[in-house]
Chains A and B, each alone.
Chain A
Amino acid sequence: MNKLFQRAGQTAELLIAGAHVLDPRSGIDGPHDVLIKHGQIAEISPPGSTGTAERTLQAHGKHLFPGFVDPHVHLRSPGQEYKEDIASGSAAAAAGGFCQIIAMPNTTPTIDALPVLESVIAQAQRSAVIPTGVLASITAGLAGAELTEMAALADAGALGFTDDGKPLTSAGMLRRALQYQRLSGGVIALHEEDPTLSGAGVMHEGPVSARLGLAGIPSVSESTFVARDAALALFEGAAMHFQHLSAKESVAALAAASKAAENLGARISGEATPHHLTLTDEAVYSLDSRFKMNPPLRAEEDRQAVIDGLRSGVIACIATDHAPHARHEKEQPFEQAPMGTTGSETAFSAIYTELVKPGVLTLELLIERITAGGALYGLEIPRIETGQTANLTLVDLEADWVVGQDGYVSRSGNCCFEGRRLNGVVELTLAAGQLVYES
């Protein structure tokens, strides 16, 4: 069953001429013409050798990548459409070069029952610019007390399950969900945080929180739950995914668990966000609420551990945790502002500028990780190969832009990279064979 939903549209007829095509999985790395017919990659050939198409786009000097996949966005629908909705959130993702996104269920009401899920899917079929998957919640109302009808929700189109935004505090409840997963299928994705350790914390606990007088969220709040829940996944042979990892102890716990999983029939994976890869708690000195997110920006050594995890493959994919909030909500003192940053439109450029250009990560690795987010939910990773559906992103790596200067496609502007000059401008996105974004 196809569990990605989007509005109907026209398939593209297009020749992208002369771009530097890079797809590490297909082994392509060089200038090619890519001909798209009826939304499919019809031909990949040496530059200048391809005939004509309905439309030819001269793309010499630009890079053509497989479309990016974001396994973690908040589209805020139903209930919080003043922050974002499926149309605006999917358009923002398309503008960031994404060809698939997966939406979180912490909406109002929670996506925890068939009627809610069905209405979200129907809305995605009407308005999603790019193929959009939906996770249902693990527990009713994210309250951690009763399991949702996971089997029925999976049958109705849920890609997996998460109480994202909140941890599943009860180990016993999580164990039941992992057992029930044998019936329902679907990965269980976890936001890891021990509320008794996080307390009223609003940022990473360390010298910066000590200076600012802000209550801290210690690294162990996340890592103790990662270790605990990984042990449960191993015990139950479950499929578990750790969302937005931020602490070096968590990366170490994930590394140990995913190694053990190989022999125990479990599947354990993790994701990292652009902001945890590029920023630290030092940014919070400004008390700018754009830097308030959960998990919080952590110390430099944590950032390095997350980068190392991404490089080694312990962390399999990049996820934005795109979390839009209205201006009046973020325009409050740091402690009162809600947690979250937008990220769809800046993910590639932020990592490219901060990590690839200085040589910390290779461009190939960035492309591998930013396209891998659907694989953990069983989705095929986009590839640039003849016969494949066109899921493509054209980027001008030489061009730069200032984040927020021309506004955002997202309905919200709470981007932690606001005002930064970033390299890499997404010029064109094709998703499921359709031209979904052009700058």
Chain B
Amino acid sequence: MSHLLSIEDLDRAGIERILDRAESFAEVSGREIKKVPALRGRTVVNLFYESSTRTSSSFELAAKRLSADVVNIRAAGSAVDKGESLRDTVQTLSAYDPAAIVIRSPHAGTAALVVPWTDAAVINAGDGKHEHPTQALLDVFTLRRRLGSLEGLNIWIVGDVTHSRVARSNILAFGGMGAKVTVAGPPTLLPRGIEQLGAAATPSLERLHEADVVYVLRMQQERMESAYIPTLREYAQRYQINSARLRPGQLLMHPGPVNRGLELSGEAIDSDVSLIGSQVQAGVAVRMAVFYELLTVPA
């Protein structure tokens, strides 16, 4: 594999291989000196056209823990602000001969689009509402660590599926690892045809008790402004995941950042069924494993 653009670039064995390696990198992250020399002398460019806290910081840390030199570019304050095209930006940065370009964009297909313009390995750190493959990997990693396997697991993804790249990558990744996936949310926020990705779709949380894992998506204020939902209040009433809706034994996940009291209640976030902290922690080890897979393993 030379790029990671979509979770579909990986089959089950490929995902397992990356996660196995992530386990050993997780061990590195537990050491006092959290560094291995795998990418010494090589350069990683993080090119973020959209704001990000955990994804950008964990890619940066992952590259640094592999001893790479890291350049972080954000659209705001860069030549992009001055109207430079994506192609020109990527070709300019490629002049530094980076081993990898990590790219986040508000537009679907951006990571794939830049591949012909650079010799670097391209890693999709989120492209519009399309995909977020490393998020899917770290979510699978988190569940696998907790439960051993995803085989036969019943996973519900709840919320604004239409506008979620995490939902799309995770439906495919969870399904690929043997889980049964259901998406639930307001009918206005479940895209027509989503079932063809291999998930059941329902506007009702009535059968939420069947879930082993409840994966909650972020709800945004803008959805109310464009009439996808009447009010955030009604959304919270119908779809908020809280202790009244969760049954004992169910695990709770969220890609962050959370709107406390909207899609998730505060007590649910802080409860011991929440894996949200483990997800963030997994981010660095899994992204180290992705760099390792792309940059050191011969294709």
Interface residue from B110, B127, B197 paired with A210 (Cβ < 8 Å): B197
**Assembled-state Cα–Cα distance A43/B226 (Å):** 67
* Cβ contacts A198-230/B at 8 Å (1 or 0 each): 000000011111111110101000000000000
In the complex, how many angstroms separate the beta carbon of A267 from the nearest chain B beta carbon? 36
In the assembled complex, B149 has its CB within 8 A of some CB on chain A: no
**Assembled-state Cα–Cα distance A213/B87 (Å):** 23
List, sorted by A's number, 20 A–B pairs whose CB atoms are closer than 8 Å: A205-B193, A206-B192, A207-B192, A207-B193, A207-B195, A211-B193, A213-B129, A213-B130, A213-B131, A214-B128, A214-B130, A216-B192, A287-B113, A332-B85, A332-B107, A333-B105, A333-B109, A333-B113, A334-B108, A334-B109
In the assembled complex, A335 has its CB within 8 A of some CB on chain B: yes
* Cβ contacts B184-199/A at 8 Å (1 or 0 each): 0000000111111100
Residue contact A331 to B85, C-beta cutoff 8 Å: yes
Ordered nearest first, which 3 A-B pairs have the shortest CB separation? Answer: A213-B129, A287-B109, A207-B193
**Assembled-state Cα–Cα distance A98/B87 (Å):** 36
**Assembled-state Cα–Cα distance A3/B123 (Å):** 56
Give the residues from 279 to 310 in chain A that come closer than 8 angstroms, CB to CB, to chain B: 287
In the complex, how many angstroms separate the beta carbon of A343 from the nearest chain B beta carbon? 23
In the assembled complex, B86 has its CB within 8 A of some CB on chain A: yes
In the assembled complex, B112 has its CB within 8 A of some CB on chain A: yes
* Chain B contacts for A206, CB-based, 8 A: 192-193
* Chain A contacts for B191, CB-based, 8 A: 209-210, 216
Interface size class for chain A?
20 to 34
In the complex, how many angstroms separate the beta carbon of B7 from the nearest chain A beta carbon? 12
In the complex, how many angstroms separate the beta carbon of A59 from the nearest chain B beta carbon? 42
In the complex, how many angstroms separate the beta carbon of B278 from the nearest chain A beta carbon? 26
In the assembled complex, A336 has its CB within 8 A of some CB on chain B: yes
Interface residue from B112, B164, B165, B194 paired with A287 (Cβ < 8 Å): B112
Residue contact B193 to A335, C-beta cutoff 8 Å: no
In the complex, how many angstroms separate the beta carbon of A38 from the nearest chain B beta carbon? 52
**Assembled-state Cα–Cα distance A287/B107 (Å):** 11
* Chain B contacts for A211, CB-based, 8 A: 168, 193, 196-197
* Chain A contacts for B105, CB-based, 8 A: 333
Given contacts A207-B192, A287-B113, list 18 more A-B pairs with CB under 8 A. A206-B192, A206-B193, A207-B194, A207-B195, A208-B193, A209-B192, A210-B196, A211-B168, A213-B130, A213-B131, A214-B128, A218-B192, A331-B85, A331-B87, A332-B86, A332-B107, A333-B108, A333-B109
Residue contact A333 to B87, C-beta cutoff 8 Å: no
Give the residues from 317 to 356 in chain A that come closer than 8 angstroms, CB to CB, to chain B: 328, 331-336
* Cβ contacts B147-173/A at 8 Å (1 or 0 each): 000000000000000011100100000
Residue contact B128 to A333, C-beta cutoff 8 Å: yes
Give the residues from 85 to 113 in chain B that come closer than 8 angstroms, CB to CB, to chain A: 85-87, 105, 107-110, 112-113
**Assembled-state Cα–Cα distance A208/B130 (Å):** 11
**Assembled-state Cα–Cα distance A212/B164 (Å):** 10
* Chain A contacts for B109, CB-based, 8 A: 212, 287, 333-334
* Chain B contacts for A214, CB-based, 8 A: 108, 128-130
Q: Take A212-B130, A213-B130, A331-B85 as given contacts and tell me if A336 and B107 are in contact as well, using a CB distance cutoff of 8 Å.
A: yes
In the complex, how many angstroms separate the beta carbon of B46 from the nearest chain A beta carbon? 18
* Chain A contacts for B197, CB-based, 8 A: 210-211
In the complex, how many angstroms separate the beta carbon of A3 from the nearest chain B beta carbon? 41
**Assembled-state Cα–Cα distance A218/B193 (Å):** 12
**Assembled-state Cα–Cα distance A83/B107 (Å):** 24
- Which residue on B lies nearest to A288, using beta carbons? B109
Interface residue from B85, B165, B195, B196 paired with A213 (Cβ < 8 Å): B165
**Assembled-state Cα–Cα distance A287/B192 (Å):** 19
Give the residues from 216 to 247 in chain A that come closer than 8 angstroms, CB to CB, to chain B: 216, 218
**Assembled-state Cα–Cα distance A216/B193 (Å):** 11
- Which residue on A lies nearest to B201, using beta carbons? A210
**Assembled-state Cα–Cα distance A214/B107 (Å):** 9
* Cβ contacts B115-157/A at 8 Å (1 or 0 each): 0000000000001111100000000000000000000000000
Interface centre among B108, B163, B164, B195 (most CB of A within 10 A): B108
Interface residue from B85, B129, B164 paired with A328 (Cβ < 8 Å): B85
- Which residue on A lies nearest to B88, using beta carbons? A328
In the complex, how many angstroms separate the beta carbon of B85 from the nearest chain A beta carbon? 6
* Chain A contacts for B192, CB-based, 8 A: 205-207, 209-210, 216, 218
* Chain A contacts for B87, CB-based, 8 A: 328, 331
Residue contact B107 to A335, C-beta cutoff 8 Å: yes
In the complex, how many angstroms separate the beta carbon of B256 from the nearest chain A beta carbon? 19
**Assembled-state Cα–Cα distance A117/B134 (Å):** 55
* Chain B contacts for A213, CB-based, 8 A: 108, 128-131, 163-165, 168
- Which residue on A lies nearest to B86, using beta carbons? A332
* Chain B contacts for A208, CB-based, 8 A: 193
* Chain A contacts for B164, CB-based, 8 A: 213
Residue contact B193 to A209, C-beta cutoff 8 Å: yes
* Chain A contacts for B86, CB-based, 8 A: 331-333
**Assembled-state Cα–Cα distance A336/B195 (Å):** 27
* Chain B contacts for A287, CB-based, 8 A: 108-109, 112-113
In the complex, how many angstroms separate the beta carbon of A95 from the nearest chain B beta carbon? 28
In the complex, how many angstroms separate the beta carbon of B163 from the nearest chain A beta carbon? 8
- Which residue on B lies nearest to A333, using beta carbons? B107
* Chain B contacts for A336, CB-based, 8 A: 107
Interface centre among B130, B164, B194 (most CB of A within 10 A): B130
Residue contact A207 to B128, C-beta cutoff 8 Å: no
Residue contact B194 to A210, C-beta cutoff 8 Å: yes
**Assembled-state Cα–Cα distance A210/B105 (Å):** 18
In the complex, how many angstroms separate the beta carbon of A243 from the nearest chain B beta carbon? 25
**Assembled-state Cα–Cα distance A415/B127 (Å):** 25
**Assembled-state Cα–Cα distance A332/B107 (Å):** 9
In the complex, how many angstroms separate the beta carbon of A93 from the nearest chain B beta carbon? 30
**Assembled-state Cα–Cα distance A208/B108 (Å):** 13
* Chain B contacts for A328, CB-based, 8 A: 85, 87
* Chain B contacts for A334, CB-based, 8 A: 107-109
**Assembled-state Cα–Cα distance A250/B194 (Å):** 25
**Assembled-state Cα–Cα distance A287/B105 (Å):** 14
* Chain A contacts for B195, CB-based, 8 A: 207
- Which residue on B lies nearest to A207, using beta carbons? B193
**Assembled-state Cα–Cα distance A213/B172 (Å):** 13
* Chain A contacts for B168, CB-based, 8 A: 211, 213
In the complex, how many angstroms separate the beta carbon of B221 from the nearest chain A beta carbon? 17
**Assembled-state Cα–Cα distance A206/B165 (Å):** 17
**Assembled-state Cα–Cα distance A107/B273 (Å):** 60
**Assembled-state Cα–Cα distance A335/B163 (Å):** 14
Q: Take A212-B130, A213-B165 as given contacts and tell me if A333 and B194 are in contact as well, using a CB distance cutoff of 8 Å.
A: no
* Chain B contacts for A335, CB-based, 8 A: 107-108, 128
- Which residue on A lies nearest to B109, using beta carbons? A287
